[in-house]
Chains A and B, each alone.
Chain A
Amino acid sequence: MIIEIGKKEIRDAFRNKLFLSILAMLLVLTVVSIILGSYQVKIAMDNYNSSISFLQSLGKAELPPMPNLNPISASKGFVNYIGMVGALMAIVLGNTAISKEHKNGTLRLILSRGVFRDTFLNGKLLGNLAILAGITALTGIITFVSLIAIGGVALTTSDIVRLLLFFGMTFLYMTFFTVLSMGIATVSTKGSRALLITVIVWLVLSFVFPQIGDTMDMDNQIPGGFFSSMGMSRDQEHQVLQQFKFYETLRDGVEEMSPTKHYERISYALLNVKPGFEANTPWEVVGLKWINLIGLLAPSAAIWLLTYIAFLRRENIYQSN
């Protein structure tokens, strides 16, 4: 039964105009950003090759080594698009999954046919996760093809594993917002209200919390740094920070509550956008960034379990909206 509900969910999603519009927007943005990134890699490669040819024509024997082009960083723009458009698409997908059944009155019909509530939710989730996995796989294929065909670079095994892990994180990030959206739609009696609440929660988690982390940092209060502007020594800086220990803990705690921040941190480390991870293997990066992986997985699991409870205990399902 779960599989049947899941299949129906996939068919329905491709009839949802709002979802299709956002999906088209995401794919266009992805293609543009990946192609631009691949062209940058190609330009860097061409520059290096032409300088090598020039040096060889001069008869130079000592040639400079190839610079680290880091082709996988071509996906950097993709992280930002997924952070916004990908999350919105996941929210629409999750909300529609539940609210359409309320709106059409089919929820009562399905549940009266001996389908357990948890089976119904699991089927819905499975269908939506399959859609998200398909979208992630499609963007992944576009990335690999563009990098090889346009960028003209041969990806190393480490690059391939890093990219695959990055797309895995992208899937988990979108999953969180689908689960959140389904959870809120399950609790709320009105689909439009649930969508509005989910979008507000998304704005808080993706924009307000990370901003609190960045802008409320004491040293970010003045351009050029608060401590250096005040002419403070490291000891004085230490003393000031010791006085604001609770504030700092609170600020960091708020930032840690943002799945967008967790997604950004692990993605930038995997894509080598953030310096310092070049020498690590892909699995070492995941090992170092395990907290970000947990930060993407644990909230989804927790919200899903709470959704079970909310749906199980809900008594007004058979009432019309």
Chain B
Amino acid sequence: MKSFKKSILLLSLLAIMLVSSVSTVFAAEVSAPEFSTGCNLSSGENKALSLFIQNADVAPHSYTLTAGDSANSYELYFSTNVATVKSMTVPAGTGNQVDLNITLNGNASVNEDKLTVKAVRDDGKENIVNLSIIINKDYALSVKSMLDKINVLSGKSADFTFSVMNNGSQDLNNIKIKPELPYKWFASQGTEAIMNLKPGETGTTTMKIDVPNSQIAGNFTAKFTAVSDEIGSSLISVPVTVKTSSNIGYWMIGILILIAGFTLVQFKRHGRR
């Protein structure tokens, strides 16, 4: 009997560990009372929490999903396997899964936060799930561009220098800068540059971006994020102004001067008629 009790205890512990390691929220049927669950989130990290919408009614219902009422700023959206959703229809007596995608925007103002998820049924009944969010400060990575704005000529390269800081309390390894660039822009150097940072340390890295000849002049945005083995930073946007190379203008003016010269010669040779 003693060993049986021990086995039960061990199994219970295993079950608890298993449940706590999977960040899913089992939302009860719409009329069920609210309950909470936890979620660990680091700055810049994207986490998807699975929610189950159970329709215990005898008729199918549409559920409108909303999330909010948090102290920190999060980027929040719901998605299923195929696409982003704002509402979903659940057949009678069945349940559907929907993912709540959470990303912390900027720095957290509170470390222990709460997020309210509402599923409002088409007949007005609503179910509320309160999620507690713990901001993990062990790993935190921030990146900023050394220049607020960059000017570059079409067909040329521009150097983007970044300052990367480990704001967490643990070491960060293999930190790289990942660019998100406009069409036909490429990072020719700097994508392989790797650095390791201890807590509080700051490192700098430079990336060379090639702007194609075909790029018409205008204002664009290049986006960058710093990624380590442990965590990613939030995305930063660097405004880039592309100007047309003067060479084309000189060529055009040169051809025009040539034609003007030829016209003058013709007038001199033949006189005004």
Q: Using A290-B249, A313-B266 as known contacts, say yes or no to A248 and B217 having CB atoms under 8 A apart.
A: no
State A288–B152 Cα separation when bound (angstroms). 12
Residues of A close to B181: CB separation below 8 A: 234
Question: Does residue B21 face the partner (Cβ distance < 8 Å to A)?
Answer: no
The dominant DSSP class at the B interface is: mixed
Q: Count the B residues whose beta carbon is within 8 Å of the partner chain — how many?
A: 30
Interface string of B200-241 (1 = CB under 8 A from A): 000000000000111011111000000000000000000001
Q: Using A117-B273, A288-B243 as known contacts, say yes or no to A301 and B214 having CB atoms under 8 A apart.
A: no
Q: Using A234-B186, A291-B244, A302-B259 as known contacts, say yes or no to A313 and B217 having CB atoms under 8 A apart.
A: no
Are A309 and B218 neighbours in the complex by a CB distance under 8 Å?
A: no
Question: Does residue B147 face the partner (Cβ distance < 8 Å to A)?
Answer: no
Residues of A close to B253: CB separation below 8 A: 294, 298
Are A290 and B244 neighbours in the complex by a CB distance under 8 Å?
A: yes
CB closest chain-A residue, reference B180: A234
Q: Using A298-B256, A305-B263 as known contacts, say yes or no to A116 and B272 having CB atoms under 8 A apart.
A: yes
Residues of B close to A288: CB separation below 8 A: 217-219, 241, 243-244
Residues of B close to A294: CB separation below 8 A: 249, 252-253
Measured CB to CB, the closest approach of chain B to A291, in angstroms, equals 4
State A308–B220 Cα separation when bound (angstroms). 43
State A225–B184 Cα separation when bound (angstroms). 13
State A66–B167 Cα separation when bound (angstroms). 38
Question: Does residue B110 face the partner (Cβ distance < 8 Å to A)?
Answer: no
Interface string of A239-270 (1 = CB under 8 A from B): 00100000011011000100000000100010
Residues of B close to A70: CB separation below 8 A: none
CB closest chain-A residue, reference B260: A305
Residues of B close to A219: CB separation below 8 A: 183
Contacts of B170-193 to chain A: CB distance below 8 A: 181, 183-184, 186
One of B218, B244, B262, B272 near A117 (C-beta < 8 A): B272
CB closest chain-B residue, reference A252: B214
Are B249 and A309 neighbours in the complex by a CB distance under 8 Å?
A: no
CB closest chain-B residue, reference A261: B216
Measured CB to CB, the closest approach of chain B to A113, in angstroms, equals 13
Residues of A close to B252: CB separation below 8 A: 294-295, 298
Q: How large is the interface on A (under 10, 10 to 19, 20 to 34, 35 or more residues)?
A: 20 to 34
Question: Does residue A76 face the partner (Cβ distance < 8 Å to B)?
Answer: no
Measured CB to CB, the closest approach of chain B to A280, in angstroms, equals 7
State A265–B217 Cα separation when bound (angstroms). 10
Are A277 and B272 neighbours in the complex by a CB distance under 8 Å?
A: no
Question: Does residue B35 face the partner (Cβ distance < 8 Å to A)?
Answer: no
Residues of B close to A301: CB separation below 8 A: 256
Are A309 and B263 neighbours in the complex by a CB distance under 8 Å?
A: yes
State A309–B258 Cα separation when bound (angstroms). 13
State A78–B48 Cα separation when bound (angstroms). 48
State A294–B246 Cα separation when bound (angstroms). 11
Residues of A close to B217: CB separation below 8 A: 288-289, 291
Residues of B close to A251: CB separation below 8 A: 214
Q: Using A117-B273, A298-B256, A305-B263 as known contacts, say yes or no to A269 and B218 having CB atoms under 8 A apart.
A: yes
Question: Does residue B255 face the partner (Cβ distance < 8 Å to A)?
Answer: yes
Contacts from A to B (Cβ < 8 Å): 116-118, 219, 234, 238, 241, 248-249, 251-252, 256, 265, 269, 274, 276-277, 279-280, 288-291, 294-295, 298, 301-302, 305-306, 308-309, 312-313
Contacts from B to A (Cβ < 8 Å): 181, 183-184, 186, 212-214, 216-220, 241, 243-244, 248-249, 252-253, 255-256, 259-260, 262-263, 266-267, 270, 272-273
Other A-B pairs beyond A234-B186, A279-B219, A312-B266, 12, CB < 8 Å: A234-B181, A276-B219, A276-B220, A277-B218, A290-B249, A291-B248, A291-B249, A294-B249, A298-B252, A298-B256, A301-B256, A305-B259
Top-6 shortest CB links A-B: A276-B219, A291-B244, A252-B214, A305-B263, A238-B186, A288-B217
A and B contact pairs by CB, cutoff 8 A, 10 listed: A116-B273, A241-B184, A288-B241, A289-B217, A291-B244, A294-B252, A294-B253, A295-B252, A305-B260, A306-B259
